Amino acid sequence: MNPTPHFIANEFVIARSGKTFENRSPVDNRLIGLVSEAGAPEIAAAVAAARAALEGPWGRMDIAKRAEMLYAVADEINRRFDDFLEAEVADTGKPVSLASHLDIPRGAANFKIFADVVKNVPSEFFSMSTPDGAGAINYALRVPKGVIAVICPWNLPLLLMTWKVGPALACGNAVIVKPSEETPQTATLLGEVMAKVGVPSGVYNVVHGFGPGSAGEFLTRHPGVNAITFTGETGTGSAIMKAAADGVRPVSFELGGKNAGVVFADCDFDAAIEGIGRAVFANCGQVCLGTERVYVERPIFDRFVTALKAKAESLKLGRPEDKSTGMGPLISKEHQRKVLSYYDKARTEGATIVTGGGIPPMEGELANGAWVQPTIWTGLPESSAVIREEIFGPCCHIAPFDTEEEAVRLANDTAYGLATTVWTTHLTRAHRVAARIEVGICWINSWFLRDLRTPFGGSKQSGIGREGGVHSLEFYTELRNVCIKL
């Protein structure tokens, strides 16, 4: 069995050490393949290739040509849509119905949107007077940061990777991507696309492996890396920040969350159930923006719990290829153990289990997969670990509230600050609450509705910086002021 290779300097290569690790299907735990694990030599080769690209044709390419190339990348992903879909679904086990309308099309779109952004953003200009009366002019140039390390999670592998690779390349950088060890395939496939459309050697590189003592740590510690962009757990962000401290290198972090949903009694009830249902259960709860704490105004509390229970129980668990499948497994047996440990905690802390709470009965080989039941609890104190810590599974706790003031206080009572979803038809209240909830993204009467030009990121322990639209340029370029004395 040939292991999934690294992509360095437009070539597919296997680690010199010969080290590999297993890629297993979360659906039934079958071995999908082996993956080559990068060591220090592969990281060094990738950094050298990226540096050479910046000094070569890529570094000299004008914006129009670069943008054209990124459009070609997006078109080629779409042409090979089925290959990307198959690879993503094999690695993640997520339903085809989800990956085919979210992961792959958005993965391709990320190249076009940032190609458009770089072509259209003006830079600043100031004219100034000088004592001799002749004056001076200033203008700012945006120059690429250089070699960017892109460290990715497994929950939306292609989408979250291209969300960083798209703007990084549009701005003229070279990238080294370290996909999650759980989901190595689509990043590798993207190497074929890059080579096919003529992206110069060394512009896009992929190295596989784990975090500590492996590709992730070697890459983030390499002095030839100029900046690090990372999506993943807050604890990992903290480790990467320490690595970035050597050389004082900038970081862009999209981290964990413990997001609240706030449902007022004046909401459109059916829309709120639909929206919160998606926010809790989509992608088997493995969405950073997902809702694990739901606060519902008391007059509709019982009705809401009953309706969300019905929603959870209507989800069909099954093989990803089955079009009627509404929910897939968790990413791995290890993650299944983590999520189930919270299901146990909820039970021992005396939660009322409204629905779920364990492993669903799955037939045949599926019984070996990383399945968990969609789960709803009520009745836990706000101090419970289940309410305070990110679980990253298809589950939520629902608690009642009596006043707007209390809802805002409960939503903000967390170390995280990524996203929130608020449901109300009271316009003034919607604006008022949105201004007071401490998050990077506040949805009103919606969830995961994304305009890619808007700022995306987290406050508090949910991240550093914003990406999206022109905000991505802040991280992927450096402003150089040119001052000309006339």
Active site residue ranges: 254, 288
Taking CB atoms, the residue at the shortest distance from ligand NAD is 211
Judged by CB under 6 A, does residue 233 bind ligand NAD?
A: yes
User: Which one, 202 or 256, has the nearer CB to ligand NAD?
Assistant: 256
User: Which one, 69 or 411, has the nearer CB to ligand NAD?
Assistant: 411
Judged by CB under 6 A, does residue 154 bind ligand NAD?
A: yes
User: Which one, 315 or 330, has the nearer CB to ligand NAD?
Assistant: 330
In the complex, least distance from residue 243 CB atom to ligand NAD, rounded to whole angstroms: 6
Contact range with ligand NAD by CB under 6 A, out of 19-27, 47-55, 120-128, 234-242:
234-242
In the complex, least distance from residue 254 CB atom to ligand NAD, rounded to whole angstroms: 3
Pick the closest to residue 118 from 153, 144, 87, 149 (CA basis).
144
Judged by CB under 6 A, does residue 169 bind ligand NAD?
A: no
220: helix, coil or strand?
helix
CA distance 332 to 286: 12
Judged by CB under 6 A, does residue 370 bind ligand NAD?
A: no
For 22, list phi and psi in degrees, rounded to 5: -85, 145
Provide the β-strand partners of residue 295.
Answer: 262, 399
**DSSP structural state of residue 396:** E
CA distance 63 to 19: 40
In the complex, least distance from residue 220 CB atom to ligand NAD, rounded to whole angstroms: 5
Site string for ligand NAD, 94-133 (x = CB under 6 A): ----------------------------------------
Kindly tell me which residue out of 151, 177, 407, 411 binds ligand NAD, with binding defined by CB under 6 A.
151
Task: Looking at 121-252, list the stretches that DSSP marks H as alpha helix, in order from N- to C-terminal side.
Answer: 157-170, 185-197, 215-221, 234-245
Kindly tell me which residue out of 46, 148, 176, 288 binds ligand NAD, with binding defined by CB under 6 A.
288
CA distance 176 to 208: 10
In the complex, least distance from residue 184 CB atom to ligand NAD, rounded to whole angstroms: 10
Contact between 168 and 140 under an 8 Å Cβ cutoff? The reply is no
Pairing status of strand 125-128 against strand 136-144: antiparallel
- Contacts of residue 437, defined as CB under 8 A and 6 or more positions apart, other chains included, come to 260, 262, 408, 411, 412, 420, 422
- Compute the radius of gyration of the chain from its Cα atoms: 23
* Amino acid in position 2: N
In the complex, least distance from residue 211 CB atom to ligand NAD, rounded to whole angstroms: 2
Provide the β-strand partners of residue 253.
Answer: 230, 464
Applying CB under 6 A, the site for ligand NAD has a residue count of 32
In the complex, least distance from residue 410 CB atom to ligand NAD, rounded to whole angstroms: 20
In the complex, least distance from residue 240 CB atom to ligand NAD, rounded to whole angstroms: 5
Q: Please compute, for residue 52, the number of CA atoms within 13 A of its CA located in the half-sphere on the CB side.
A: 14
E-only strand ranges, 25-73: 31-36
C-alpha 156, offset from chain centre: 6
Judged by CB under 6 A, does residue 201 bind ligand NAD?
A: no
Contact range with ligand NAD by CB under 6 A, out of 73-81, 215-223, 271-279, 381-389:
215-223
Kindly tell me which residue out of 105, 211, 393, 469 binds ligand NAD, with binding defined by CB under 6 A.
211
User: Which one, 151 or 294, has the nearer CB to ligand NAD?
Assistant: 151
Q: Alpha carbon of 388 to those of 309, 412, 413: distances in Å?
A: 22, 11, 9
Binding site for ligand NAD (CB under 6 A): 151-155, 160, 178, 180-181, 210-212, 216-217, 220, 231-233, 236, 239-240, 254-257, 288, 390, 392, 418, 458, 462-463
